[in-house]
């Protein structure tokens, strides 16, 4: 695994990739933590949405300013700042039990994970030897999915512990602190040192990373390419000079597809969907959604190991086509089952709310957390909401059935007996295949491509711009997902995602360059010509 890139380079990348672990953990965590906190703090639906989106707002904000930080002060320093901020944000949360503090802490954590995710990708891409870069950069994505899985597990473990949420949040503090300290002793990115005209230091760093006594050759390549690149300003990203505008568009479109093929939302719905297709008990649904976490980790591993032999373009193509197939299957299955989602906030049965263990709601990643909490206000609040809402008649009716019968809305539309066993398992299988396809394709590969296609002098700012697009669309999609699903039904949502997957396949085939085995400098020269 480590052959061809020295042990030191591998360890340095691994320490940097701890950012990914922390990011995944924070993203997956809130679902369980909020279940406890909303009863302690008596949060309304709206407040729960705000708690969840505060992380995304922080992330969006950081991605707007993060690029300048990274190009100005260095990749390594940005990672150190980010993990210190994470520790700080988590420490704020622990002693107090207040809604305001919770939001401040979550915004700080959002800023931190967003900054570290850009900085880490750039840092690893810049220290990695060219024939091992794919492996090392994808290490970050692998850590993210492992982080999500850890979050699911800790949600489950601390579910019934009193003040369990404090343990959940506190868990990252030692890890974040450890990363900040370790990064301090690791070398800065050699390309960054050259940008700052510190050639001697850059050569020493390269000699340590490559474990050779003479890194002059690689240094010369970096220097010549950076000389050409140093004249970039931020606005050049939108000009036709050296094809920058085309490269920027490729980056932005790729990120657009990562979000619009529906991964964040389908994942959030994992347990809800599975429950409505007949996995009756919360335990079964929660086990199935932890299964989703495991599948993510398992399928990211081969992608990480083989990316340098197979190439990121191939993986993107495989991923998108398999996603399209599994989404069609999921859509057709759901057409036959007639899943009916009404707005979750107003239609959860009381028994469900009281029996909820955090483990049941953990099919969560990135933006869609917010939808989740829409679904988990207390029953009294549900009926209170109804009195104020404009469509009182309809929701009031729903609520009365929910209160009286103690049946979930899914329950009131269909009995579990109606779901044929074949369909039930087919639905689960297609969901898992879809998750796996995303985890070998768009999940890890898009960030790898992004860290490769921009020239070094402006790489931080370019990544930051694509990253802000990522968080922005994520926010938008998670804010609208529930209403769209209610409007057109789940199976049509699946079909829209299918179309998006096919579009992304076409886009990858036409526009994404195959970059395996090339140095960052070669890639940049090739792209400047096209």
Mean of pLDDT values over 85-90: 93
- For the chain, where do the domains classified as CATH 1.20.1250.20 start and end? 1-186, 233-346+419-529
* Dist CA 11 CA 9 (whole Å): 6
HEC string for 103-143: HHHHHHHHHHHHHHHHHHHHHHHHHCCHHHHHHHHHHHHHH
Hey, is 366 helix, strand or coil?
Answer: helix
Q: What is the pLDDT of residue 530?
A: 64
Least confident of 83-97, 235-249, 436-450: 235-249
461 to 62, 143, 227, 233, 465: CA distances (angstroms)? 12, 23, 18, 10, 6
Count Cβ neighbours within 10 Å for each residue of 289-325 and write b for 16 or more, e otherwise. bbbbbebbbebbeebbebbbebbbbbbbbbbbbbbbe
C-beta neighbour count of 411 within 10 angstroms: 18
Query: Is the predicted pLDDT of residue 160 greater than 80, yes or no?
Result: no
Q: What is the pLDDT of residue 13?
A: 92
pLDDT band at 523 (very low <50, low <70, confident <90, very high): confident
Q: What is the pLDDT of residue 89?
A: 92
Q: Write down the mean pLDDT value for the chain.
A: 76
Q: What is the pLDDT of residue 267?
A: 62
Q: What is the pLDDT of residue 273?
A: 63
The structure tokens listed for 237 are 């990203």
Of residues 485 and 474, more confidence is placed in 474
Angle between helices 312-337 and 490-511 (to 10 degrees): 160
pLDDT in tens, 441-469: 988 888 888 888 887 777 778 888 888 88
Mean of pLDDT values over 333-339: 72
CB contact at 8 A, 58 and 180: no
Provide the percentage of residues in the chain whose pLDDT is more than 90: 20
Q: What is the pLDDT of residue 355?
A: 36
Q: What is the pLDDT of residue 108?
A: 93
Query: Is the predicted pLDDT of residue 319 greater than 90, yes or no?
Result: yes
pTM: 0.73
Residue 509: its H or E element: helix 490-511
Query: Is the predicted pLDDT of residue 412 greater than 80, yes or no?
Result: no
Query: Is the predicted pLDDT of residue 373 greater than 80, yes or no?
Result: no
CB contact at 8 A, 365 and 300: no
Helices (H), 42-98: 45-73, 75-93
CATH 1.20.1250.20 fits 233-346+419-529, yes or no: yes
Query: Is the predicted pLDDT of residue 381 greater than 60, yes or no?
Result: no
Of residues 82 and 529, more confidence is placed in 82
The structure tokens listed for 68 are 């300048």
Of residues 485 and 530, more confidence is placed in 485
Of residues 350 and 430, more confidence is placed in 430
Mean of pLDDT values over 249-278: 77
Least confident of 210-219, 320-329, 387-396, 408-417: 387-396
Helices (H), 281-406: 282-310, 312-337, 350-355, 369-374, 379-388, 392-405
Query: Is the predicted pLDDT of residue 63 greater than 70, yes or no?
Result: yes
pLDDT in tens, 12-34: 999 999 999 999 998 888 766 77
Q: What is the pLDDT of residue 350?
A: 33
* Dist CA 361 CA 189 (whole Å): 40
Of residues 394 and 470, more confidence is placed in 470
Which of the given ranges, 28-32, 97-101, 139-143, 336-340, has the highest pLDDT on average? Answer: 139-143
Phi, psi of 257 (to 5 degrees): -70, -35
Q: What is the pLDDT of residue 283?
A: 58
pLDDT band at 482 (very low <50, low <70, confident <90, very high): low
Mean of pLDDT values over 194-219: 84
Query: Is the predicted pLDDT of residue 154 greater than 50, yes or no?
Result: yes
Of residues 317 and 458, more confidence is placed in 317
Helices (H), 441-489: 442-453, 459-488
**Right CATH for 1-186 from 3.40.50.300, 1.20.1250.20, 2.60.120.10, 3.20.20.140:** 1.20.1250.20
Q: What is the pLDDT of residue 21?
A: 93
Provide the percentage of residues in the chain whose pLDDT is more than 70: 75
Q: What is the pLDDT of residue 321?
A: 95
Query: Is the predicted pLDDT of residue 416 greater than 50, yes or no?
Result: no
């Amino acid at each position: 695994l480590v052959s061809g890139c020295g042990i030191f380079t591998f360890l340095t990348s691994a320490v940097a990739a701890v950012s990914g672990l922390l990011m995944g953990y924070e993203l997956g965590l809130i679902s369980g933590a909020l279940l406890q906190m909303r009863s302690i703090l008596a949060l309304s639906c709206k407040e729960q949405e705000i708690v969840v989106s505060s992380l995304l707002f922080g992330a969006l904000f950081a991605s707007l300013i993060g690029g300048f930080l990274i190009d100005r002060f260095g990749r390594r320093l940005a990672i150190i700042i980010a993990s210190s901020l994470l520790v700080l944000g988590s420490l704020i949360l622990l002693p107090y039990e207040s809604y305001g503090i919770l939001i401040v802490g979550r915004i700080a954590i959002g800023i931190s994970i967003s900054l570290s995710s850009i900085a880490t990708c750039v840092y690893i891409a810049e220290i990695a030897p060219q024939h091992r870069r794919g492996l090392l950069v994808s290490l970050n994505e692998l850590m993210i999915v492992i982080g999500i899985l850890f979050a699911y597990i800790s949600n489950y473990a601390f579910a019934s512990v009193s003040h369990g949420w404090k343990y959940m949040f506190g868990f990252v503090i030692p890890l974040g602190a450890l990363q900040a300290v370790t990064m301090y002793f690791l070398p800065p990115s050699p390309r960054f040192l050259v940008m700052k005209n510190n050639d001697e230091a850059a050569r020493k760093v390269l000699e340590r990373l490559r474990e050779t006594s003479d890194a002059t050759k690689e240094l010369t390549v970096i220097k010549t390419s950076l000389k050409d690149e140093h004249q970039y300003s931020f606005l050049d990203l939108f000009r036709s000079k050296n094809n920058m505008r085309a490269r920027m568009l490729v980056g932005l479109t790729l990120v657009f597809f990562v979000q619009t093929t529906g991964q964040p939302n389908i994942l959030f719905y994992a347990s809800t969907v599975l429950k409505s297709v007949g996995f009756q008990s919360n335990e079964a649904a929660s086990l199935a959604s932890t299964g989703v976490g495991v599948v993510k980790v398992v399928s990211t591993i081969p992608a990480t190991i083989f990316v340098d032999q197979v190439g990121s373009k191939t993986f993107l193509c495989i991923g998108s086509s398999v996603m399209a197939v599994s989404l069609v299957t999921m859509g057709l299955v759901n057409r036959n089952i007639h899943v009916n989602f009404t707005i979750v906030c107003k239609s959860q049965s009381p028994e469900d709310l009281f029996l909820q263990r955090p483990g049941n709601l953990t099919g969560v990643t990135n933006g869609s957390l917010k939808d989740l909490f829409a679904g988990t206000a207390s029953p009294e609040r549900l009926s209170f909401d109804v009195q104020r809402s404009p469509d009182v008649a309809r929701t009031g009716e729903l609520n009365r059935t929910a209160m009286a019968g103690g049946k979930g809305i899914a329950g009131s539309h269909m009995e579990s007996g109606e779901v044929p066993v074949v369909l039930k398992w087919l639905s689960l299988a297609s969901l898992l295949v879809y998750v796996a396809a995303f985890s070998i394709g768009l999940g890890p590969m898009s960030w790898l491509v992004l860290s490769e296609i921009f020239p070094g002098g402006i790489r931080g700012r370019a990544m930051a711009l694509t990253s802000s697009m990522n968080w922005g669309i994520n926010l938008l999609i998670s804010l609208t997902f529930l209403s769209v699903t209610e409007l057109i039904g789940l199976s049509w949502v699946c079909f829209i995602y299918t179309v998006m997957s096919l579009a992304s396949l076409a886009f990858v085939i036409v526009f994404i360059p195959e970059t395996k085995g090339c140095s960052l400098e070669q890639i940049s020269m090739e792209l400047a010509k096209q």
